[in-house]
Amino acid sequence: MFGDSEANRAILATVFVTIVIFSYTGSDLILNQREVVQYAQTEKEWVISFENSIVDDDEDNMTFTFNDIWAHQDEKVIDFFLDDVQVSEGFAIGFIDVKIIPEECNGAAESEGRCENGIWISDGGEWECDSISATLMGDNSTLTGQWYDSGNSLSKSDSGCEPLYLRIVIYPEYDEHNEVNQSAVNEYQALSPWKVGGWGQGVVSVQINVDVNSYGGFGPLDDSEELTIEVRVHEFRATATLNNMSL
């Protein structure tokens, strides 16, 4: 009988110790689970980085190119169809640049002569630089983009034989970012603003007007202007990295 009593006390002691251990362990598990849930639901700081490139099928560092001759007071609208190009997988269009290059003094290796105060001077004579104006035409019904973005340059003009540069921002809030900070619960939410589809669809329409200037210097009469249009579609892909300061 005495032996049974000792055994019972030993069993009870073991059970008590086990209960205490499980109580502490269970409490720790519950606390840890709460911490994990709280961490998962808490916004953290993410660093969003951007990989940038030009949509370029033939490795000439441009997406489209076009060359034509404008007569005096000609107005032409040249269309470039974005359906004809393939954006890289996982990328979106950030912005589109258009460069209009006059035949005189355009920096090309085969271009002879020099420009001085709006006059093109070469061995063959002197000509006044032609007046050129260019405008990106359209709205979201023809090209989905940020038509009212402060980073746009939708219209330019020049009479000094210099190239014209136009730009339209396509993706919301995109401005050639290197890195930006984003508050979000997880990586998916951090990247979601940069994975919205539908932007950069349609036609890039460039309207160009030319007034040929021939001021009566020596050389053949200037009655036309040859222009080259270069279009560069800039694409980007965003990646998110957790900022260690938010851990």
What confidence tens digit (pLDDT) does each residue in 110-122 have? Answer: 556 666 666 666 6
**What pLDDT, on a 0 to 100 scale, did the predictor assign at position 107?**
47
Q: Look at residue 7 and tell me whether its pLDDT is greater than 70.
A: no
- 55 with 155, same domain? yes
Q: Look at residue 230 and tell me whether its pLDDT is greater than 80.
A: yes
Q: Which is nearest to 47 in space by CA: 193, 173, 195, 179?
A: 179
- 34 with 60, same domain? no
Of 26-30, 88-92, 106-110, give the range with the top mean pLDDT: 88-92
**What pLDDT, on a 0 to 100 scale, did the predictor assign at position 67?**
95
- At 8, is the pLDDT very low, low, confident or very high (cuts 50, 70, 90)? low
230 vs 243, higher pLDDT: 230
For residue range 19-60, list pLDDT tens digits in order. Answer: 656 565 655 555 555 544 444 457 899 999 999 999 998 889
- 80 with 177, same domain? yes
Q: Are 184 and 190 a contacting pair, CB within 8 Å? A: yes
**What pLDDT, on a 0 to 100 scale, did the predictor assign at position 40?**
47
- 37 with 49, same domain? no
- 99 with 121, same domain? yes
- 81 with 148, same domain? yes
* Tally of structural domains, the chain: 2
- 141 with 165, same domain? yes
pTM higher than 0.75, yes or no? Answer: yes
Long-range contacts of 105-112 (CB under 8 A, 24+ apart): 105/129, 105/161, 105/162, 106/161, 106/163, 106/228, 107/163
Domain residue limits at 206: 44-246
- 50 with 25, same domain? no
- 26 with 58, same domain? no
- 183 with 242, same domain? yes
